Structure 1
Amino acid sequence: MTPTRRSVLLSVGAVGAATALGGVLTGPAAAADGTWDSPRSANGWAMDPDAVGSFRVEGSPATVRLHRAAAPVLLHVARRWHYEVIPLRGSRHVLGHRTDRAVGAAYESNYLSGSAIALLGAGDGLWPHQEAVVRDILADCGGVVRWGTDLSPADACHFQIDVGPDAKALRRLTEIFHARSVRHDGPRPGAVEDPATPERRAGARRLAKAQARN
């Protein structure tokens, strides 16, 4: 996973939610040897193998293991990444739940609970128009998801649920994405709002600043 240039392009519609949600939930630090020894990941999610399932990323040949409560949102991120940023050629390009507790940064513990996903293929970084799409995806998620580019150390492939498992914002977003899938009107090729419109760019800047403060 490689870091990429930071961007302030994010879309409208999620700014109020992001401000209300606040930042990522803090968890205990890893042990001195880099082993995560807490029963919860840094974002407050319990590590429960029974809560993890395997899911296909729509439109791609990739499957990924995620916490069932986190899956609707993280799969939305993965689907838009596949369609609009970099195609996911197979399961090797998507990483989700893992059991190895060795972490290089606290946020990597979120993979242990299945509440984070890594979307590979960014190489040496993203082009500006790709970064703009990613910011638009974050805005689509109403501040519930944080991008690894905004964490330290930066990781352009990393996306994590940025609220606890019982957060109302997570439940609302899950309901919205479920309704979209039933109506078949979610973001698809040719059916996505232009992230470069002035309204969405203005929302992008506000949400990026809100998340940067936390």
Structure 2
Amino acid sequence: MTGAQLTLLWQKPPRGLPLALARVERHISSREQFEALLAEPGPIPARPSFPPAIPAVTVAAATAAGQSPAPQPHGTGAAAMRPGRRTNPCAGALATAQLVQAAPAIEIASEDTTALATLAHPLIAGALSVLAFTRADLGSPRFTRDLDITGDVSTIKLHGVGHRSCPLYAVPAWARLLLAGARAHHRLTGRPGDSVFAPVLVAEARHLRAHAGRLPRLDLTRPAGMLVP
């Protein structure tokens, strides 16, 4: 579902496995069986499908819900951050795309896109691909929700602190499979309101930084303004 070519789960006694994993057939193999399996020609790597998007927030629905699909007048964002004022949730990518044009993606060399595609963790591969084609800093995907990725994974919306800057980007073809995998991984958690990339942006995002450091040509280690606590 996520496009990962291999996931090895070393499991101790089951402790509340997600339903999607609990239904998966599991096998216990000896070392000999495992090595024999690795020696066999592998199948074509699975690729993530594009699951139906969460119902898009239309402009009318967003307005009725108290959201802000249209760009707010200058100063509105600052006012929303004042004590006693509650910030309205930002509209998703599809609603925003109806009002503004997405910024084009930055071109990436084919060898670099291949390196990103070989990362086994869907969230790390997805997050680093976003940083690669947007040239945003390491903390930029921290507020990205499911509805910030369009159903066809052609557009993604990032969010700044206080939603003062929430740019919309076109997703290049090579990155769509990776973002579809990240979204599928996120949906397995059963927490649709959470940030898609939150699990790899905790603390100092050490795993994400480590993988970014292994791709020096892409320069993905720019400082993060704020990471998810």
TM-score with structure 2 length normalisation?
A: 0.27
Q: Which has the higher contact order (CA 8 A, sep 6+)?
A: 1
